[in-house]
A and B are shown apart, each in its own frame.
Chain A
Amino acid sequence: MKLLVCVSKTPDTTTKIAFTGDNTALDTQGVQYIMNPYDEWYALVRALELKEAAGGTVTIINVGAASNDTVIRKGLAIGADDAIRVDAEGGSAYFVAKQIAEQAKAGGYDMVFFGKETIDYNGSQIGSMVAEMLDMPFVSYATKMDVSGNTATISRDIEGGQEVVELSTPFALSAAKGLAEQRIPNMRGIMMAKRKPLNVVPAVAVDEKVSIVSYALPPAKSDCRYIDAESMDELVELLHSEAKVI
């Protein structure tokens, strides 16, 4: 099977967020970047497991600048066979989706993996856009996938439960917790990754339809009001008449 895993680079979860340029851009000073956890822990690892079980190749793709190569090399160290980087400074979800679709079309993949969302813009849109561009079925928030031949049975998160679906390749899916277990790259993987192909390709032009105009920080939270552990009647009264939530 030919498997494609889309990975993105995001600020680490504990990053302190600040802006520059009159609140029009993220202040990248001191920001630590990581591979988006859903892409790394769940999407990539499940793809590698499928390859290990039934043969095939795992290609990772990233849309971004040369500074993203460290994240891509990590994906190769975890076990992907090769990588594509579409050389671009980034853009909207639609821009990124268009680049991925362009490469995926040429590659003829059986499955295209995404993370359920990126932890920076929390958009959750690229997978469904690429699926539409490639005219593939798409299953979001997959928590379990069994594959037999070219048929997959996938459980996915829905409100308050799970849905189980069955479909045939080719298709696209987005990965959530449960789909696989995180793998830490070992020394051998890291060494091998240096020699694996990382193909840099130019971006296709896209007419942007969406742009971020400005950022703001959320309003500061007022200080915590402490209530004596003996005075739960007082808490209930406050929740009722002050917070008005019960």
Chain B
Amino acid sequence: MVLIYASSPEGQLKKTAFEAVTYGYKVAQSLGAEAVALTIGNVDNAGVLGQYGASKVINVPAGGFDSGVYANIIAQAAEKTGANVVVMADDSTGKSLLGRVAVRMDAGSVSGVKSLPDTANGFSVEKNVFSGKAIASYNISSANKVVSVTGNTFPPEVVGADVAVEDGGITAPESRITVKEVSTVKGTVPLPEAELVVSAGRGVKDPGNWGIIEELADILGATTACSRPVADVGWRPHHEHVGQTGVAIRPNLYIAIGISGAIQHLAGVNQSKTIVVINKDPEAPFFKAADYGIVGDLFEVVPRLTEAIKKHKG
């Protein structure tokens, strides 16, 4: 049995959760097992996880996020369902939970996997290491296994219909953490989940110049991001900072505008499927990592690109 913990930020199941269930369903198929999904807290429409392959959904009531409480619930659910493989997303909840669940279940664990397990001899999964500069193949030899799945790697696949949501007879232990406040940007897709990202750096020169960047993002339906110095001086909010010290992303399209392409910046974006670089310096290191490059002044090129996309969407 494969158990998938589907995270539900602010009560909503999102693409990240559907990706985890899709992955878990595929693992279950390769093991000839069933996939059961688990949600925790108040969740809208948890039965929808059946569409991605869960044969049933267990929901356990609990308060705000506390890794100790949630790990306890996940381990209980694994025991009740007889699951020896637990799958979750490598998102902010997964990063707090994976190790805890592994310890509770006496399981081997790998975070941020990007391949389905090779079960030909054992159970091995691939993961990016050295900030995307290499790929390591990990073998898990214990009976119980816990993995978290890299985002935007296994697109959600609809294979079934909604299923019933059961309560599973699991009680949450008492929490030692009080969640006082959750504040997230509304109206745009959060960066780690975004498929299209428009990012800008010091080349934009002044926070007042960001209008052209936002216009391009708007017309594309993209999320905006920035390089570290731009967030450091407060031109852009901290949560937009991508790279080694910021958010690591892997969108389908990353447009880098006025960013030089320092190795620490690339570490957070080099997994993007397609990279477009706009820079006036033909020697900018970012061009080495680019699929498409435009050498030119961003203040001319970006508005032109926005117009071209308008025309295309036409």
Nearest residue, chain B, Cβ from A163: B182
Are A137 and B67 CB-contacts (below 8 A) given A143-B238, A209-B140, A236-B312?
yes
**B112 beta carbon closer than 8 Å to chain A:** yes
Per-residue interface assignment for chain A, residues 225 to 246, with 1 indicating a CB less than 8 Å from any chain B CB and 0 otherwise: 1111110110111111001011
**A222 beta carbon closer than 8 Å to chain B:** yes
* Beta-carbon contacts under 8 Å, B264-291 to A: 264, 267, 273-274, 276-277, 287-291
Q: Is the CB of B68 within 8 A of A243?
A: no
Give bound CA distance, A211 to B122, whole Å: 12
Nearest residue, chain A, Cβ from B94: A124
Which of A122, A135, A226, A235 has a CB less than 8 Å from the CB of B129?
A: A122
User: Interface on chain A toward B: helix, strand, loop, or mixed SS?
Assistant: mixed
Q: Is the CB of A120 within 8 A of B129?
A: yes
Q: How many residues of A contact B (CB 8 A)?
A: 84
Give bound CA distance, A240 to B309, whole Å: 10
Give the distance to chain B from A194, nearest Cβ to Cβ, in Å. 31
Residues of chain A with a CB closer than 8 A to B277's CB: 224
**B203 beta carbon closer than 8 Å to chain A:** no
User: Interface on chain B toward A: helix, strand, loop, or mixed SS?
Assistant: mixed
Residues of chain A with a CB closer than 8 A to B127's CB: 122
Q: Is the CB of B245 within 8 A of A37?
A: yes
* Beta-carbon contacts under 8 Å, B108-149 to A: 108-112, 124, 127-142
Residues of chain B with a CB closer than 8 A to A199's CB: none
**B92 beta carbon closer than 8 Å to chain A:** yes
Give the distance to chain B from A150, nearest Cβ to Cβ, in Å. 12
**A13 beta carbon closer than 8 Å to chain B:** yes
Give the distance to chain B from A42, nearest Cβ to Cβ, in Å. 9
Give the distance to chain B from A208, nearest Cβ to Cβ, in Å. 8
* Beta-carbon contacts under 8 Å, B172-201 to A: 176-185, 188-193, 195-196
**B293 beta carbon closer than 8 Å to chain A:** yes
Give the distance to chain A from B307, nearest Cβ to Cβ, in Å. 7
Q: Is the CB of A165 within 8 A of B179?
A: yes
* Beta-carbon contacts under 8 Å, A1-54 to B: 11, 13-15, 17, 19, 37-38
**B96 beta carbon closer than 8 Å to chain A:** yes
**A123 beta carbon closer than 8 Å to chain B:** yes
Give the distance to chain B from A105, nearest Cβ to Cβ, in Å. 14
Q: Is the CB of B99 within 8 A of A236?
A: no
Q: Is the CB of A161 within 8 A of B293?
A: no
The winner among B245, B274, B287, B295 for most chain A CB atoms within 10 A is: B245
Give bound CA distance, A209 to B99, whole Å: 13
Q: Is the CB of B184 within 8 A of A122?
A: no
Which of B64, B66, B91, B292 has a CB less than 8 Å from the CB of A235?
A: B292
Nearest residue, chain B, Cβ from A217: B134
Q: Is the CB of B267 within 8 A of A13?
A: yes
Are A216 and B134 CB-contacts (below 8 A) given A122-B129, A224-B291?
yes
Q: Is the CB of A120 within 8 A of B100?
A: no
Q: Is the CB of A164 within 8 A of B180?
A: yes
Residues of chain B with a CB closer than 8 A to A38's CB: 245
**B304 beta carbon closer than 8 Å to chain A:** yes
The winner among A127, A210, A217 for most chain B CB atoms within 10 A is: A210
Residues of chain B with a CB closer than 8 A to A126's CB: 99
**A138 beta carbon closer than 8 Å to chain B:** yes
Give bound CA distance, A147 to B190, whole Å: 30
Q: Is the CB of B138 within 8 A of A210?
A: yes
Give bound CA distance, A130 to B71, whole Å: 13
Q: Is the CB of A229 within 8 A of B191?
A: no
**A97 beta carbon closer than 8 Å to chain B:** yes
Are A129 and B103 CB-contacts (below 8 A) given A158-B9, A177-B246, A213-B124?
yes
Which of A14, A171, A224, A243 has a CB less than 8 Å from the CB of B253?
A: A243
Which of A124, A128, A161 has a CB less than 8 Å from the CB of B190?
A: A161
Residues of chain A with a CB closer than 8 A to B288's CB: 221, 224
* Beta-carbon contacts under 8 Å, A85-129 to B: 92-94, 97, 116, 119-129
Q: Which 3 A-B pairs have the closest CB atoms?
A: A160-B190, A229-B296, A209-B108
* A-B pairs with beta carbons under 8 Å apart, 28 shown: A92-B108, A119-B130, A119-B131, A123-B112, A124-B98, A128-B97, A129-B99, A130-B99, A131-B99, A131-B100, A137-B66, A157-B92, A157-B239, A158-B9, A162-B183, A164-B179, A165-B177, A216-B137, A218-B128, A221-B289, A227-B292, A229-B304, A230-B304, A232-B308, A235-B276, A235-B294, A236-B311, A246-B309
Binding site for B on A (CB under 8 A): 11, 13-15, 17, 19, 37-38, 92-94, 97, 116, 119-133, 135-141, 143, 153, 156-168, 171, 177-178, 208-218, 221-222, 224-230, 232-233, 235-240, 243, 245-246
Not counting A141-B92, A236-B312, a sample of 16 additional A-B residue pairs whose C-beta atoms are within 8 angstroms of each other reads A11-B130, A122-B131, A128-B67, A129-B99, A132-B71, A157-B247, A161-B183, A209-B140, A209-B141, A209-B142, A211-B141, A218-B128, A218-B133, A218-B135, A224-B292, A246-B309
